[in-house]
Amino acid sequence: MKKLTFAMLLTVLSFAFLFAGSQPAFAEEITCTGTLGPITVDNVLVPDGATCTLFRTEVEGTVNVGTGSTLRAFDAAVNGNIQAEGAAKVWVVLGSVGGSIQHVQGGTALIDRVAITGDILLDDNNAPLTVRRNDVNGNVQAFQNEAGVAIYQNMIDANLQCLANTPAPVGGGNIVQGEKQDQCEDL
């Protein structure tokens, strides 16, 4: 049996570090079709047509909400984003989101008393939307929604932007560090 020399060991370790640094890290994704309680998970997928409740759950990554699905997050901590395209319902109450909340081409949404590091985007939805009492480090944007948007009592570090919503958004009491623009200039 050969002895491992220092030079050989250094070569082996160099290759190990080289290949270890180039390999992608795969996070585990949980498919949620029921209730997740006070546990920690990597990523959450709410499949098309399903209902998922996050109750005091910590999500290390992102929550993806499928078409026709419902997400109910109560006192949950999502370190990444909540992304919903075509979702029937998105309720995020209490808790925190380390990224952004995007709800596009879907149904109703309620975002209430949430600390959000990124933005809130509500775009092209066809049911009532409510954004209230949140602390948002980014923008709050409501574009082309068709069933009413209520935006009130939010702390917004960037801009409050509303455009082409029918009817125009209602609300008030928002403290905006940036600008209130277009349909939201009086909120």
Structure tokens given for 2 = 């050969």
User: How many other CB atoms are found less than 10 A from the CB of residue 163?
Assistant: 15
C-alpha 96/C-alpha 109 separation (Å) is 16
pLDDT of 6 higher than 90: no
pLDDT at 2: 47
**pLDDT digits 0-9 by tens, 113-144:** 999 999 999 999 999 999 999 999 999 999 99
pLDDT band at 181, cuts 50/70/90?
very high
Question: Which of 130, 103, 129, 133 is closest to 116 using CA atoms?
Answer: 133
Question: What integer is the mean pLDDT of 147-176?
Answer: 98
pLDDT at 27: 65
